[in-house]
Structure 1
Amino acid sequence: MRIVILTAAAALSATVALAAGAELRRPEAFDAVQDRTERSVALFNEMAKVITHPRCMNCHPADNIPRQGDDRRLHHPPMVRGSEASFGPSGLHCTSCHGSENLPALGHDRDIPGHAPWQLAPASMAWMGLSVAEICVQLKDPERNGGRSLADIHEHHATDGLVGWGWHPGKGREPVPGTQKIFGDLTQAWIDTGAACPK
Structure 2
Amino acid sequence: MDKLQTKQELLAKLTALTSVPDDNNIYLKEKVKKALLKSPELLYAFHNLDLEDTELFNPDGTINYTGDWSMYYGEEGNIHPHFYLPNTQDKVRHHLCFKTEFTDIPKYNQIMCYMNVTFLVMVDVRDAIDPLTGIARHDLIGSILRERFNWSNIFGAHCNIVSDKESFTDSNYIIRTIVLEQETTNNITGIRNGKRQVINKQTWTS
TM-score normalised according to structure 2 size: 0.32
Structure (1/2) with the larger strand percentage: 2
Q: Which has the higher contact order (CA 8 A, sep 6+)?
A: 1
